[in-house]
Structure 1
Amino acid sequence: MEGFPTVELSGRKQHHCAPLCLLHFGPEGKMMPIAIQVQKCKLRCSAELTELLLRRLSQTPGPDCPIFLPSDSEWDWLLAKTWVRYAEFYSHEAIAHLLETHLIAEAFCLAMLRNLPMCHPLYKLLIPHTRYTVQINSIGRAVLLNEGGLSAKGMSLGVEGFAGVMVRALSELTYDSLYLPNDFVDRGVQDLPGYYYRDDSLAVWNALERYVTEMITYYYPCDAAVEGDPELQSWVQEIFKECLLGRESSGFPTCLRTVPELIRYVTIVIYTCSAKHAAVNTGQMEFTAWMPNFPASMRNPPMQAKGLTTLETFMDTLPDVKTTCITLLVLWTLSREPDDRRPLGHFPDIHFVEEAPRRSIEAFRQRLNQISHAIRQRNKCLPIPYYYLDPVLIENSISI
């Protein structure tokens, strides 16, 4: 979030912040913020910004950059938390949602269409998970992410800054980070109690990986079959060149040589195009319709001293009514499901005619039904149910 300029909305200069938030998992079983720093971002020249990113400098507390605590005044602590939620808007929408699902899925899709013929088994396996993705992304660029579009009228960073966040995130994206089981270990939350996203996503991932394994091993009985498939290799190479811009540090393969490598690659592609998008898209309105929980803009700069925030200054910092309505309109639009939705595992368009693949599809569907049943049983005991990764609610593809 560091170093991006802001724009004017409704004739008023907006403000930006790159906060740090320390979370603690307490004995009561809740993850709670216990310290927040909201140092104002300073614009830097490109050389200085590059050095900052390379050195990974953290913010430095000082007289004009206090660390806010739950013991501070109610309004100071509330505004500090709101600044964290403001930053989460850009982290979620620009990175987790748009970049890591919509745009990467589009690259997977276009590379498939250009390199895999319709008779290719990988084409048949992947095509249900690309339905409407190019169309919805094209609509998004034309209506939401263009200069003067809805998003430009509701975000402190404007379209240019929003894109800048994605560019910076893409420069750090790695192949390993898209391999779901690694994510929880890397972040140290593999044993965190009550983490339903982790539990449900891993259940769906395991079912998907087993399905992909059965399909891949049927058509690729040995490593030589993988390495000797020129169309498959062209698909992988194009994703590396066009999606990752040929960046070797991404760790994305430029070729696949073994059956396990292909299984991992295809599982990542299908999961990204289906369950991962459901996890970050489905709950947007529920958690963001209360605007202070997810503001896209802030009208006052971050606090530089304690004890000065009041109800009036808090309200004056939040987006105005017009900006709020624009942002909620965008999020409402993103939350609408297509009328002809196709849940994960339901493939009405018949591509496979052999008996073995058709058995694998049916087994996949049955495993997903078992996961759905387990999620619904668990949710009966939760004060706030977590259902975003219930397979019956996961779309096969990114279609909204």
Structure 2
Amino acid sequence: MGKIRRSYFPTFVELKHQGIIRYMSSQYWQAVEKKFQWEDTYSNLPGHVKGVPRGQGFPIKKIFTFLGMTIKGIIGLLIAQLLHLVPYLWQKLIKGEIVFTGTADFGLLTIFAQFNDWNSLDEFNEFFQPWTFFKKPDVAEDWNSDIEFGRQRLTGMNPILIRKCQADDISPSSNFPVTDELVNPFPGQDINLAAAIQANRLYILDFPILNQITTKILEEQLGRYPQSPSCLFYLDDKQQLIPIAIKLQYEPDAEHQAYRQIITHKSPPEDWQAAKVAVASADAAYQGVVSHLLNTHLLIEAFSVSTYRKISPSHILYQLLTPHYFNTLAINNMARNVFLERGGFFDATGALGYYGSRELLNRGYNGYEKVVPKLEFYKLALPYDLKNRDVLDLPNYYYRDDALLMWNAIKDYVTEVLQTRYQTDADVVSDREAQAWKEELMTNGNIYGLLPPERDNQLNSIQALIDIVTNVIFIATAQHAAVNFGQYDYAGWVPNNPFALYQSFSDLFTTNSAKIPLTKRLPNRLETIKQMVLVKVLTMTPPHSSQSLLTLDNPFSDTSAKQVFEKFQQRLQEIETQISQRNSSLSKPYIYLLPSRIPQSIAI
């Protein structure tokens, strides 16, 4: 791409040398750094700001919208439960099953504890009535089919983990030794695994990061039973991704040796369904803690704070980046208090509890043994990630297709904006503010792998700056949208993506034992209400959470940069049209990367 004509946009340092104005005083920078103070609460995670700096809080209208949606949702779901309670108690009464044997509570706690359980999956439909304000997710119709299960790995709420299977992944010496004999006869055809690998028809979803993350004692204390499953998928003749084998634990400890068994279509149907739910729940746990919270929210906060601390408001980098930090510090402060603390959502309701969630964050960022590398920023770049997972030729992968459209548009936009300021690599090297920003990210921001090893984290070229900024804006906008806004559509129907499972899976591996019904593994009525309200509120789309990329105001003061922004929005409109046309031919459209639905920032 040819460089556009440079509209010189000087930094404060250059203006000082020109004698136009004086560089920002040391008092100014001291005041800025005092306002945006680093807080070392989690020394092993990306750096975060202390509190919510003045001017960074939620707008009043957004607060009321947020609270209104939460309160309305809770009231609606409680009304649904009240309408269930009356006939429930009546049936108990006429059957003579209400016996007041207790003392202080007259036995009512026993009665209501049973009421909190599900008797059948059909009872989940009670939550989707006109008076509950909750629309039943479309996935409720076929959530338990193998085809739908496979489709969600590509277009669901966590479409970023599926990868092409290699021979070593399922070899006899691997943790997941799948054989032709195990999976065959497969409905409709026999599968030759070696030939399927050569034909690029095998894919895998696995969670070594969850391996032994909780102990048996902790599981019993929490009453929750997270798994670290591996799931093998086969791309059939209709280009549908079908699960064919599941192992529940990556590397079972001494107390779970039976979990080495692999579950397939030849297993009892209730075992196969339970295994798929275990995979979906693990996927939800990873999405909540790593894909969503760590890899978007927490990571972008470090860039946000570094920008505010080291870049002056008239700098092109400041104007380019700060629109994509709107409300991020406020929502992250709330997330740390509501999700991560003792008694928070991860502790009380999540699959892993307080300690397990903290450990998952640590593994996600710093790596785990030899199976999970530490998180390096440059590896999150979309082209690198897709190539690393070897999914560039995976059919019907609409997340990949739409994400690449957005990545390329953002990269071109960033390139042209930065070329209005920098003509040569030397301009970047001599830019005192940009260099201070980079150093701040690596030190106080605790960002690993800002650039690939061959660049030695040196911000010494225009291309290096383009690569960093493109990745930041993509993560803060499109990537966050992809892992956030599908949550209600897929986890609003709780059996499809339960945030936790409440029974052991040992019955699947014990002969002649009673099978635990799926309803007993799922969150009870109270936990279901909490999950539904949470995912409903978290999927509050523009304009309620922020502006979308299509409605964002032009952030630049320079004429040439303004024109680049206008060109960018025109391209986004073209992408909107392109995706909409594709979606019109799909029975289940992929909508999360429509530019009109992508917020300007991580604001919810």
What corresponds to 2:460 in structure 1?
257
The answer on whether the counterparts of 1:343 and 1:391 sit within 8 Å (CA) in structure 2 is: yes
What corresponds to 2:389 in structure 1?
187
Of 532, 535, 546, which aligns to 1:341? Answer: 546
**In the alignment, is residue 294 of structure 1 matched against residue 497 of structure 2?**
yes
**In the alignment, is residue 232 of structure 1 matched against residue 434 of structure 2?**
yes
Of 475, 483, 493, which aligns to 1:272? Answer: 475
What corresponds to 2:556 in structure 1?
352
After TM superposition, the runs of 4+ consecutive aligned structure 1 residues lying more than 4 A away are 6-12, 40-44, 61-64, 245-253, 306-312
TM-score scaled by length of structure 1? 0.89
The answer on whether the counterparts of 1:151 and 1:330 sit within 8 Å (CA) in structure 2 is: no
What corresponds to 1:112 in structure 2?
307
TM-score scaled by length of structure 2? 0.60
Quote the Cα distance in structure 1 between the aligned partners of 2:262 and 2:527.
29
The answer on whether the counterparts of 2:376 and 2:448 sit within 8 Å (CA) in structure 1 is: no
Quote the Cα distance in structure 2 between the aligned partners of 1:254 and 1:229.
16
What corresponds to 2:284 in structure 1?
89
What corresponds to 2:175 in structure 1?
none
CA gap 1:249/1:178 in 2 versus in 1, 3 angstroms: closer
What corresponds to 1:24 in structure 2?
234
Quote the Cα distance in structure 2 between the aligned partners of 1:26 and 1:355.
53
Quote the sequence identity (%): 32
User: Aligned pairs, how many?
Assistant: 383
What corresponds to 1:387 in structure 2?
591
Alpha-carbon offset, residue 206 of structure 1 = 0.6
Task: Name which of structure 1's ranges 274-283 and 328-337 shifts more when overlaid on structure 2.
Answer: 328-337
Q: Secondary structure at the match of 1:242?
A: coil
Of 366, 373, 396, which aligns to 2:570? Answer: 366
What amino acid is the match of 2:587? P
Quote the Cα distance in structure 1 between the aligned partners of 2:303 and 2:448.
15
What corresponds to 1:177 in structure 2?
379
Higher RCO (CA < 8 A, seq sep 6+): 1
Q: Which structure 1 segments of 5+ residues have no match?
A: 45-60
Matches within 5 A, 1:313-332: 313-332=517-536
Task: Name which of structure 1's ranges 92-101 and 312-321 shifts more when overlaid on structure 2.
Answer: 312-321
The answer on whether the counterparts of 2:480 and 2:602 sit within 8 Å (CA) in structure 1 is: yes
CA gap 1:243/1:3 in 2 versus in 1, 3 angstroms: farther
CA gap 1:203/1:64 in 2 versus in 1, 3 angstroms: closer
CA gap 1:211/1:307 in 2 versus in 1, 3 angstroms: farther
Q: Secondary structure at the match of 2:420?
A: helix
What amino acid is the match of 1:175? F
**In the alignment, is residue 281 of structure 1 matched against residue 466 of structure 2?**
no
What amino acid is the match of 1:396? Q
The answer on whether the counterparts of 2:247 and 2:261 sit within 8 Å (CA) in structure 1 is: yes
Quote the Cα distance in structure 2 between the aligned partners of 1:366 and 1:43.
55
Task: Name which of structure 1's ranges 390-399 and 244-253 shifts more when overlaid on structure 2.
Answer: 244-253
Q: Which structure 2 segments of 5+ residues have no match?
A: 1-209, 367-373
What amino acid is the match of 2:343? G
Q: Secondary structure at the match of 2:408?
A: helix
The answer on whether the counterparts of 1:196 and 1:386 sit within 8 Å (CA) in structure 2 is: yes
- Alignment RMSD: 2.6
CA gap 1:10/1:142 in 2 versus in 1, 3 angstroms: farther
The answer on whether the counterparts of 1:143 and 1:149 sit within 8 Å (CA) in structure 2 is: yes
Q: Secondary structure at the match of 1:32?
A: strand
Q: Compare CA radii of gyration and give the structure with the larger one.
A: 2
The answer on whether the counterparts of 2:219 and 2:225 sit within 8 Å (CA) in structure 1 is: no
Alpha-carbon offset, residue 93 of structure 1 = 1.0
Summarize deviations over 1:20-62 as a string: whole Å, max 9, x none: 1111111111111110001387679xxxxxxxxxxxxxxxx96
Quote the Cα distance in structure 2 between the aligned partners of 1:365 and 1:245.
30
Task: Name which of structure 1's ranges 16-25 and 272-281 shifts more when overlaid on structure 2.
Answer: 16-25
**In the alignment, is residue 167 of structure 1 matched against residue 362 of structure 2?**
yes
Alpha-carbon offset, residue 314 of structure 1 = 2.3
